[in-house]
């Protein structure tokens, strides 16, 4: 199976990168399944049902989020109606929405997407490792599902790496999101699970993690209240990770970063 995971979409520039480039990527790479992290898609903060529909129309099969999932309050009332939109799975019981889902891919194959959020330097949610363990107790890779993809939305590289090793041999890939900076460590762990600490963002990199740089710098150089952070509006780089899995085992056979457009060097899977 061929899967693409697009990192955090930031603002209009990031949305444009997805809607303009994803249809061609699906054809060119013959993708079976596409995941988009959209938690910063709505003017840099959260996501709306309308934006989700734009991503689906462009070729995304489902959308993950993160710590900004509730920033656009309308999503609280609509997330239960969209099984293709996930919020972090380790929110307390009773939180609207869902943190995992099983989706159909061509050939009757089944893709389980699991979406935990880290706790180091972030919100004090339930234990993400326990939440993932509970989910994996119900599904066996290569038997009940053909692929298990984990979007680990976290600040700390150590927590993401720990999740990678925690899941090794039991999922197809653990991919990190949230920090908006692509890491150079895409590889396959000893048990056959692909791993990358952070996929990066789909946004304008002539910025401070996707936000207009003057206001962001002022927050560091002045103790005075500043203006609201606004997403940078230059050409975005679409930052993603490409995964291939073995159809018999569900484990990874290839993993590589993909970067296209904007000011970062172009990178294609071999």
SS3 state at 92: coil
Q: What is the DSSP string of 154-199?
A: -S-HHHHHHHHHHHTTTSSEEEEESS-S--S--EE-TTS-EEES--
User: Residue 252: beta bridge partners?
Assistant: 245
Spot the catalytic one: 68, 115, 153, 178: 68
CA 174 to chain centre: 10
User: Which tokens sit at 188?
Assistant: 């396959």
User: Residue 6: beta bridge partners?
Assistant: 36, 240
Closest CA to 10 of 53, 66, 62, 56: 66
24 vs 26: CA distance, rounded Å: 5
**Which residues neighbour 84 within 8 Å (Cβ) at sequence distance 6 or greater?**
52, 56, 61, 62, 63, 101, 103
- Is residue 68 among the annotated active site residues? yes
Under a CB-based contact definition with an 8 Å cutoff, are residues 100 and 133 in contact? no
**Which residues neighbour 216 within 8 Å (Cβ) at sequence distance 6 or greater?**
207, 208, 209, 229
Catalogue the active-site residues: 68
């Amino acid at each position: 199976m061929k899967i693409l995971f697009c990192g955090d979409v930031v603002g209009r520039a990031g949305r444009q990168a997805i809607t303009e480039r994803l249809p061609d990527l699906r054809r060119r790479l013959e993708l079976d399944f596409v995941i988009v992290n959209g938690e910063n898609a709505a003017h840099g903060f959260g996501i709306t049902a309308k934006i989700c529909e734009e991503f689906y129309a462009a070729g995304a099969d489902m959308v993950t989020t993160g710590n900004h999932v509730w920033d656009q309050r309308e999503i609280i009332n609509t997330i239960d109606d969209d099984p293709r939109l996930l919020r972090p799975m380790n929110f307390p019981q009773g939180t609207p929405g869902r943190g995992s889902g099983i989706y159909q891919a061509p050939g009757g194959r089944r893709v389980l997407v699991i979406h935990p959020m880290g706790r180091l330097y972030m919100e004090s949610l339930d234990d993400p490792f326990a939440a993932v363990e509970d989910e994996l107790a119900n599904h066996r890779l290569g038997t009940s599902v053909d692929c298990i993809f984990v979007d680990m939305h976290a600040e700390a590289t150590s927590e993401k790496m720990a999740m990678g090793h925690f899941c090794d041999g039991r999922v197809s890939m653990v991919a990190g999101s949230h920090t908006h900076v692509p890491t150079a460590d895409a590889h396959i762990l000893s048990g056959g699970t692909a791993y990358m600490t952070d996929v990066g963002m789909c946004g304008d990199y002539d910025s401070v993690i996707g936000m207009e740089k003057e206001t962001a710098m002022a927050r560091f150089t002045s103790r005075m209240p500043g203006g609201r952070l606004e997403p940078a509006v230059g050409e975005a780089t679409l930052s993603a990770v490409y995964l291939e899995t073995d159809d018999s085992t569900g484990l990874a056979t290839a993993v590589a970063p993909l970067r296209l457009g904007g000011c970062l060097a172009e990178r294609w899977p071999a």
